[in-house]
Amino acid sequence: MNNLIKTALKMVESGKGILAADESNPTCTKRFESLAIESTPTSRNAYRDLLFSAPDIEKYISGVILFNETFYQKDLSSQAFYPEFLSRKNILPGIKVDSGLELLDVYTKEQATKGLHDLEKKALQYYIDGARFAKWRAVYHIDESLPSQKSIDRNANDLADYASICQSSNLVPIVEPEVLMNGNHSIAKSYEVTSKVLHSVFKELSKRNIIFEAMILKPNMVLSGYNNNQQASIDEVAKWTVKCLKENVPSDVPGIAFLSGGQSDELATLHLNAMNQLQNPWKLTFSYGRALQSQALQIWAGNQNNILEAQNAFLELAKANSSASQGLL
């Protein structure tokens, strides 16, 4: 367990955060096609290579979450498999181990996460092949009557099963309960739902004797629904989010690494910075996908001549979020 605790601490080392580059092939294809980039194993490899080989990435990034395809691909210069390539840069290789979403309820259209049935076998193999942490994402929808108790219970149960399998397979689990911010709900509603969700998740993790010191929580920030025309201010978001976390997350958890969830790059960074100006018992950092990558992907646009410019855009955001994770902006 000591190694797991050390890994968890390293994932949230001061001034560093996690790059989520684990978009599944269908999600990656959607993002590529919206920019008229062809999505093939080769083009996805070229894009991920651009990110991971950005100069000095290791100053700001402690770990990278990979999708299975990338995990078994090689970097374009030294031809090392990515787990080895990243480890050489002192970056921890992580792996998305869930198999995406399925319908949980035909009436509410809520979703559950697939992938528990063969998780133990996969987790053991990923560890052998170089992974040091894993990620599992559960999603919750908000409206007047959602999330349902069924969704809250099922996802808490599955996240706890996943965390338990990871810890016994030598992988640090990133536990990701994502409350989606689509809709016109108020920030108070986001707070209420996120609280309920986190409460149920930690109750199940506790029942399963998960070692909190050897896990990382990856939650949503508590925001106004994206369609609400009264958006909470940056300070309000920081205050509601930290309040929600303090009420539900044990202080033994070493770090909380937020997802960006469709916020603009700028807001995701400023929210993180404002939270780090408050007193917190944990490291608060980032584990962003879109808020670190959107600009770089647009600039690259599938053209190898744009690599340097795309890398610079990515590094600038990584650097700004490194500062934000220390409240230094």
Question: Active-site residue numbers?
Answer: 176, 218
The answer to whether 135 touches 95, Cβ cutoff 8 Å, is yes
CB 291 within 8 A of CB 268: yes
The reply to whether 261 sits near ligand 13P by the rule CB under 6 A is yes
Q: Which of 71, 85, 162, 288 binds ligand 13P (CB under 6 A)?
A: 288
Within 13 Å of residue 55, how many CA atoms lie on the same side as its CB? 4
Q: How far is the CB of 289 from ligand 13P (least distance, A)?
A: 3
Interface with ligand 13P (CB under 6 A), residue from 4, 8, 20, 307: 20
- Tokens representing residue 170 in the block: 């030598």
Write out the binding residues for ligand 13P, residues 199-258 only, by CB under 6 A. Answer: none
Q: How many CB atoms lie within 10 A of CB 243?
A: 14
Give bridge partners of residue 112 from the DSSP assignment: 102
Cβ of residue 176: shortest distance to ligand 13P, in angstroms? 6
Task: Please say whether the beta carbons of 214 and 245 come within 8 A.
Answer: no
**Does residue number 290 form part of the binding site for ligand 13P (CB under 6 A)?**
yes
Q: Does 71 bind ligand 13P (CB under 6 A)?
A: no
- Is residue 185 within the footprint of ligand 13P (CB under 6 A)? no
Q: Out of 157, 170, 224, 260, point to the residue binding ligand 13P (CB under 6 A).
A: 260
Count of residues near ligand 13P by CB under 6 A: 10
Q: Is 187 buried (19+), middle (13-18) or exposed (0-12) by CB count in 10 A?
A: buried
Q: Which stretch binds ligand 13P (CB under 6 A): 1-9, 53-61, 288-296, 311-319?
A: 288-296
289 in Cβ contact with 28 (< 8 Å): no
The number of helix segments (H) and strand segments (E) in the chain equals 12, 10
Nearest in space to 222 (alpha carbons), one of 207, 210, 235: 235
Q: Is 291 in the site for ligand 13P (CB under 6 A)?
A: yes
Among positions 159, 205, 259, 310, the unique one binding ligand 13P when judged by CB under 6 A: 259
Between 138 and 165, CB nearer to ligand 13P: 138
Token pair, residue 122, equals 């996969």
Separation of alpha carbons 328 and 314, rounded Å: 19
Pick 147 or 261: Cβ nearer ligand 13P: 261
Phi, psi of 23 (to 5 degrees): -55, 135
Q: How many CA atoms lie within 13 A of 114 on its CB side?
A: 6
Nearest residue to the partner ligand 13P, using Cβ: 289
Q: CB under 6 A: which stretch of 76-84, 181-189, 239-247, 282-290 binds ligand 13P? A: 282-290
Span of 6-14, 198-206, 283-291, 297-305 interacting with ligand 13P by CB under 6 A: 283-291
* Contacts to ligand 13P by CB under 6 A: 20, 137, 176, 259-261, 288-291
